[in-house]
Amino acid sequence: MYLDLTGRTALITGAGRGIGRAIARKLAAAGASVMLNDLDPEPAQETKALVEQDGKESVRVLSGDITELGFPEKLVDSTLSEFGTIDIVVNNAGYTWDSAIHKTTDDQFQAMLDIHVVAPFRVLRAASAWLRETAKREIREGRRMMRKVVNITSVSAVDGISGQSGYGSGKAAVIGLTKVLAKEWGSLNVNVNAVAYGFIQTRLTQPRGKEDGEIEIKGRNVKLGIESALMGIMKEQTPLGRLGSAEDAAGPVIFFCSPLSDYVSGEVLVCSGGSRMPVR
């Protein structure tokens, strides 16, 4: 089925690499204008170049730290200034910072909450005034314009993964936010859903020891990747027989961004190839 999102505008955080990039390209290919956000300017510009290479020109970039106080408001205001509307919000930005709970510091735990639930909350709060005013006007005019919010969560929130007390807590919290906003914004014709990923092949799930195996967050170097042995176990336990790609991961998000999900709200769709998390 061909999806036509012409005239729609999508704001996507964490759009510089991996899943976020795949989501941006698919939404743009369906005709949506896209505002790309990423912490790092270079990858965000690379995504923009790829979208333009795909033949789509309605794309803008605002790089910056989504966890910085005031930045979510700036991102929302910039999107409205550039495109005049926000019809889709994909809260995708995130990273893992793992350790057993007895080794997890307050700063480490708070960092996971900040990126995975506080930042999405602030983005959606910043957009709320415009969404409410616009929806109420459309309803008075007898028009139903469905808008979409897709929050990215994880099987770590659904099943639990050892060593991820912070990550799992942040991702579980965004499920709560999703379900609350589905009720608050239902009367405004906003669908609010979440996608919970299993092991998708990105730099966050690459084997440890790769060259790009660290990121710098607020002056701290955070190691990325997982144990190679765990990846092998997950592949063996996945009924589909493989780990997911960024393209695989983008599919459920596009569904939630499209008219196909106009009567679906408050749901968590697990995208894991059928696997459940092993004990380790």
State the pLDDT at residue 153. Answer: 97
Question: What was the pLDDT predicted at 1?
Answer: 58
Query: Among 119-128, 204-213, 256-265, where is mean pLDDT lowest?
Result: 204-213
User: What pTM value is reported for the model?
Assistant: 0.92
Return the structure tokens found at 153: 């969560």
What confidence score (pLDDT) does residue 135 get? Answer: 98
What are the sequence ranges of the domains in the chain? 9-271
- Among the residues of the chain, which ranges form H helices? 18-29, 41-53, 71-83, 106-113, 119-140, 155-158, 165-184, 228-237, 246-257
Q: What was the pLDDT predicted at 242?
A: 86
10-26 pLDDT tens trace? 999 999 999 999 999 99
Question: What's 134's DSSP letter?
Answer: H
Residue range 15-39: mean pLDDT, rounded: 97
Instruction: Look at residue 212 in the predicted model and tell me its pLDDT.
Output: 58
pLDDT of residue 176: 98
**pLDDT at 217 (0 to 100):** 72
pLDDT at position 220? 73
pLDDT digits (tens, 9 = 90+) for 93-144: 999 998 899 999 999 999 999 999 999 999 999 999 999 999 999 999 999 9
β-strand pairing of 190-197 with 214-217: unpaired
In the prediction, which pLDDT does 209 show?
Answer: 58
Confidence check: pLDDT of 222 > 90: no
Query: What pLDDT score does 10 carry?
Result: 98
User: Is residue 95 among the annotated active site residues?
Assistant: no
% of the chain at pLDDT higher than 70: 90
CATH fold of 9-271, please? Rossmann fold (3.40.50)
Q: Are 17 and 203 in contact (CB under 8 A)?
A: yes
Query: Annotated catalytic residue: which of 95, 167, 197, 263?
Result: 167
Average pLDDT score, the chain: 91
Q: What pLDDT does 41 receive?
A: 95
Per the CB < 8 A criterion, the answer to whether 190 and 131 are in contact is yes
Token readout for 97 is 């910072």
- Collect all residues with Cβ–Cβ distance below 8 Å to 207 and sequence separation of at least 6: 225, 226, 227, 228, 231
48-97 confidence digits (pLDDT tens) = 999 999 999 999 999 999 999 999 999 999 999 999 999 999 999 999 99
| pLDDT value for 235 | 74
| 214-217 and 220-223 beta bridge pairing | antiparallel
pLDDT of residue 149: 98
Q: Side-chain half-sphere of 142: how many Cα atoms within 13 Å?
A: 0
**Residue among 202, 78, 100 at smallest CA distance from 152:** 202
Q: Compute the distance between CA of residue 98 and CA of residue 106 in angstroms, rounded to an integer.
A: 13
Half-sphere exposure of 93 (CA within 13 A, CB side): 31
Listed residue (205, 5, 159) closest to 90, CA to CA: 5
Which residues make Cβ contacts (< 8 Å) with residue 87, sequence separation at least 6? 8, 9, 10, 32, 145, 147, 148
